[in-house]
Structure 1
């Protein structure tokens, strides 16, 4: 973790943080995001192409570059949550957290006793940041974030109970999957009127619980709507999409 204000401190202080979304299997993209102006990068290990080694190296690049490293783990891959935190990630986003039991399991692997059962020994985070393990351990539970994804009707119905789980730091809305599951598989409509109303309700309930509200934003307008709705942590801009868009524009330069 950076010796400057960490991600958790920024969010708890009421700051808004925009993160890039990284899917491609190379740490260089994390560095390029930081050079482009992003202060945070989210590594998508659920649908992205990174291996654990590539995620580890990306996290290192972000720490060295003064940015914040976030990792979305695979479904039910809670053990890797602990490993990614040991590597230096500041936030773990876990998909398909549908119940209190799911949320407690996430906390179990992300927090040290007595909140959880994370084991002692964070080599990557301490070596890269230049701090001792004792220094890291003293504040790790406050400075690393366990975030549950809300993307099903079951999760939405259990939201207030999930938010009540001790040690859970907040939620992250997957608007496409939420709209898909709520519609029973009939449509993917993350910016429909019904979807936006649901997203606003989630943000309000999360804020009322004193926790962090995050969301994946699909357009610039959706990003602005999400900020107005009360989301503090937002992701917008995916490496593969941005590269293809820029490449398409450059390829037409002579036309």
Structure 2
């Protein structure tokens, strides 16, 4: 009898299952190291973001990182480099169930992302699952017919334009949740590097309100612990609070401060 293969629940399943006051805490993996990814997945963090946008992480490396994290309770989410249907198809086929698509500024951007993650007739995803890890090479029973329930799509709002369009973006059918990026948002507002500037945090709060009014869950990146807690109090359902490279650098610098003598 063939071995039955089931895929884990999606990021959306976990987010939707949150009760009042609950949230998912996560961290980035930017190094491309499978060891770092496995440590992150085993750490107790509830989700881990593999960053293929700002890190030297390509398709093959993403596959290795997902394999390293397999079997741990943390849910892996992959941020693709760009809202491109060819790349999105490749990331889906290599087995990335949960995608975060950056730089979504308009309703049409959001609609393009939705189309990219779905097979026809709803979308434009190419059909190659029998040859790919996504279906575990056809070991997942009925993958093509169930693909919609096995994939999660989060889009990232990270510009002043996107904040203005947040309600329309969140309302697009197929957008499962929205993630806010204060760093690029601050830059787009002329406040480069000032993620906790009052104007930026106000824009984040307005985005939260728009997304929640559309009936969707919202998350945010916040490395400042106090700011992260404020965003959680404001209704964030998921948050990123650190990164593998940041933890290593901060730890190494602390050791250097302790042990290095001029």
TM-score (norm 2): 0.86
Distance 2:213 2:144 in 1: 29
Q: Which runs of 5+ in 1 are unaligned?
A: none
Distance 1:94 1:254 in 2: 42
Preserved CA contact (<8 Å) 1:41 1:68? yes
Structure 2 SS opposite 1:75? coil
Residue 140 (structure 1) aligned to one of 128, 147, 160 = 147
Preserved CA contact (<8 Å) 1:7 1:143? no
* 1:213 shift after superposition: 0.8
Preserved CA contact (<8 Å) 2:24 2:237? yes
Identify the residue that residue 124 of structure 1 maps to in structure 2. 133
* 1:42 shift after superposition: 0.6
Identify the residue that residue 218 of structure 1 maps to in structure 2. 223
Preserved CA contact (<8 Å) 1:70 1:91? yes
Structure 1 SS opposite 2:136? helix
1:198-237 matches, within 5 Å, as 198-237=203-242
Preserved CA contact (<8 Å) 1:93 1:146? yes
Residue 106 (structure 2) aligned to one of 93, 96, 99 = 99
Matched, 1:12 2:20: no
Instruction: Decide whether aligned partners of structure 1 residues 243 and 124 sit closer, same or farther in structure 2, where only a CA change above 3 A counts.
Output: same
Instruction: Decide whether aligned partners of structure 1 residues 198 and 146 sit closer, same or farther in structure 2, where only a CA change above 3 A counts.
Output: same
Distance 1:214 1:206 in 2: 10
Structure 2 SS opposite 1:92? strand
Residue 157 (structure 1) aligned to one of 151, 159, 164 = 164
Distance 1:116 1:133 in 2: 21
Matched, 1:245 2:253: no
Identify the residue that residue 175 of structure 2 maps to in structure 1. 168
Structure 1 SS opposite 2:179? strand
* 1:5 shift after superposition: 4.3
Structure 1 SS opposite 2:70? helix
Distance 2:68 2:128 in 1: 20
Instruction: Decide whether aligned partners of structure 1 residues 91 and 142 sit closer, same or farther in structure 2, where only a CA change above 3 A counts.
Output: same
Q: Deviations over 1:54-75 (max 9, x none)?
A: 1111112222334311111113
Distance 1:161 1:6 in 2: 24
Q: How many residues align?
A: 251
* 1:164 shift after superposition: 2.1
Distance 1:52 1:127 in 2: 16
Distance 1:205 1:76 in 2: 22
Q: Which runs of 5+ in 2 are unaligned?
A: none
Preserved CA contact (<8 Å) 2:6 2:140? no
Distance 1:225 1:209 in 2: 21
Matched, 1:31 2:38: yes
* 1:125 shift after superposition: 3.2
* 1:252 shift after superposition: 4.7
RMSD: 2.3
Larger radius of gyration: 2
TM-score (norm 1): 0.88
Preserved CA contact (<8 Å) 2:154 2:175? yes
Distance 1:163 1:37 in 2: 30
